[in-house]
Structure 1
Amino acid sequence: MDERHEYSAAQRRKPDLSGVSAGDLDWFHSAESNGAGGMCVEIAPIPGGGFAMRDSMDPDRLLAFSAGELDSHIRAAKGGELDRFLIAAERATS
């Protein structure tokens, strides 16, 4: 990606997960999820700023990301920078 973004101090601030309960957050997952569980990476906004991310197989273990970190990652994925991590259909079925 050639385009660089500047993030404010608030957008770069890592959220504090102390006192945050996974059950209290509004979780979102990709429509690409298989729906049977176990194939979901879920993201939820954290009150006060930032985002939590979790694996649906381990829903109580949360990772915290600033808004800028998540934005940067999404931009990289949309720009094709993460394409090398895609699993080829042929490999996935063999």
Structure 2
Amino acid sequence: MAETEQEIKARKERERDELYALDISGVEWRSAPGTEEHEERVEIADLPDGAVAMRSSLDPDTVLRYTEAEWTAFVLGARDGEFDLEPAPHDGEPGADA
């Protein structure tokens, strides 16, 4: 039997609460190869059950946590260009505010 919308919402809230309750003080953070220690970078850490934690090197106390399903959806979307930013129009170009 398929979950109802309310059951799905309750399950996702429970998963989020469990994920944020994890002690991640001992996780190993990694960043993109070639970045220097002093450079701003995104850091990733693997958590249990395929979950992932993400933070900025400039704000290591603010950590976002994603379930395996959320992380997979994000990575696949990024690979497909779903998060590509369009350049802002410049003066004199089509779409620029006059």
User: Normalization by structure 1: what TM-score?
Assistant: 0.61
- For each residue in 1:42-92, what CA deviation from the matched residue of structure 2 results, as whole angstroms up to 9, or x when unmatched? 1111134411111111112211111111111111111111222679xxxxx
Unmatched runs of 5 consecutive residues or more in structure 2: 1-7, 89-98
Q: Say which of 23, 31, 34 aligns to 2:33.
A: 31
Provide the residue aligned with 2:21 in structure 1: 18
Percent identity reads 27
State the number of aligned residues: 75
Q: Which of the two has higher C-alpha Rg?
A: 2
Provide the residue aligned with 2:80 in structure 1: 79
Mapped to 1, the partners of 2:38 and 2:87 lie a distance apart of 20
Unmatched runs of 5 consecutive residues or more in structure 1: 1-8, 88-94
Shift of 1:29: 1.1
8 Å Cα contact 1:43/1:52 also seen in 2: yes
RMSD across aligned C-alpha pairs, in angstroms?
2.8
User: Normalization by structure 2: what TM-score?
Assistant: 0.59
